[in-house]
Amino acid sequence: MLNTQHQVRIWDLPTRLCHWLLVVTFIVAMLSQGDDRYLDIHVLSGYVFLELLGFRLIWGFIGSHYARFSQFLFDKKAVWHYLKTLATIQRQHFLGHNPAGSWAIFFILGLGSIVSLTGLLTLGGEEQHGPLAGLISFSLGSTFHEWHHMTAWFLFGFIGIHLVGVLIESRLHHENLIKAMITGFKSTKNPASSVHRHEITALIIVVVIIASIGSAGYFPFIGPTLPKNALWQEACGECHLAYHPTLLPARSWKRMLAEQHEHFEEDLDLDKETLLALQNFSTENAAESELTEAAWNISHFTPAEHVPLYITQTSYWIEQHKNIVDDIWQHPDINFKGNCEACHLDAKQGTFEDFAIHLPDM
């Protein structure tokens, strides 16, 4: 009778569901980062991650017994004592979170909050989308992007450490903590009351997430409406895509128009009035106008002494296309690197949103 093991439900359904969905959404976000074609998936997974994080923070105050923060608030002395005795026969066993695990949870929740906040700031600044759109400059958005990237990888590494700790504790205490977070049950020699399942709360979580995904839609981000000029469309669009002035610095357009009689082996033969109108339009709306993310990057990362006449000569273009393999460039639907319309759905609009990219099937 002394060795009788009691199965006790420690983790309610909302806690378990939230835990594993946080894992899934974080993995999806990590796998979809770094490739603009999957920006919509990255942003959507980030939104769901933030919703789950918000729920877990609330549930930490109103949830079932072992899910509440008040049940695993340990000071540093308790954490140190737990770690010091972990490899000895004096090791402590906790039905809920142990002292080290509790600190890990608080750290993960805190770092996850920073990752989510910097993600929103990046989205609002660099992409000019989301709830913070228009409130943050491209420059600040770029800075927050660096912080977002760094803290996300820091969180990824800490989660790895957390997982190692779970495996070590499982082995030392002869219990499967991962299985417990799936089933909700743990074994104990001392009788204890099981927590409620809270199925309704778990159902609400699922419904809210499904609604969030459904309302997000699966469409390219819509960029700003850029200034247009009929003369520009006519003069440039006669031979090729009428590239918007935001795609080159003003000095490039000035040089290009000044050399109109030797325009890439063609003579534009523009009259003075048309030439002046094109000069004014291109100068006012060049990359320095920072009307789009691409414009900001081209303006800031093109050396002042560099006067590129090709968009493909800008350091930003080169950086953005460095991972495109030769087979893509040789595809019959592309043919040459200046054929932006082949891959960018919004090339005619000139916005070049990150998500509005579709590479041809190989």
DSSP 107-166: HHHHHHHHHHHHHHHHHHHTS--STTTTTS-HHHHHHHHHHHHHHHHHHHHHHHHHHHHH
Q: Lowest mean pLDDT: which of 4-8, 93-97, 246-250?
A: 4-8
The residue type of 347 is A
Q: Residue 106 pLDDT more than 90? A: yes
Separation of CA 95 from chain center: 36
Bridge partner list, 344: 357
pLDDT at 3: 59
**CA separation for the pair 281, 248 (Å, rounded):** 13
Confidence of residue 326 (pLDDT cuts 50, 70, 90): confident
The per-residue pLDDT for range 13-57, each reduced to its tens digit, is: 999 999 999 999 999 999 999 888 888 899 999 999 999 999 999
DSSP assigned state of 357: B
CA distances from 342 to 348, 356, 359 (A): 11, 11, 8
Question: What is 6-216's CATH superfamily?
Answer: Transmembrane di-heme cytochromes, Chain C (1.20.950.20)
Note the pLDDT tens digit of each residue in 249-284: 999 999 999 999 998 888 889 999 999 999 999 999
Type and span of the H or E element at 356: none
Give the SS3 label for residue 198: coil
> Domain spans of the chain?
6-216, 230-342
pLDDT at residue 318 in the model = 94
pLDDT by residue (tens digit) across 206-241?
Answer: 999 888 877 765 555 678 899 999 999 998 988 889
| H helix count then E strand count, the chain | 13, 2
Task: Assess contact for 287 and 247: CB atoms under 8 A.
Answer: yes
Q: Which of 29, 39, 18 is nearest to 354 (CA)?
A: 39
Least confident of 97-101, 190-194, 213-217: 213-217
Question: Mean of the per-residue pLDDT values for the chain?
Answer: 91
Q: How far apart are CA 253 and CA 247, in angstroms?
A: 10
Residue 8, strand partner residues: 186
Rounded to an integer, the average pLDDT of 277-294 is 95
CA pair distance 273, 80, nearest whole angstrom: 79
CA distances from 172 to 88, 164, 165, 176, 187 (A): 9, 12, 11, 10, 14
Give this prediction's pTM.
0.85
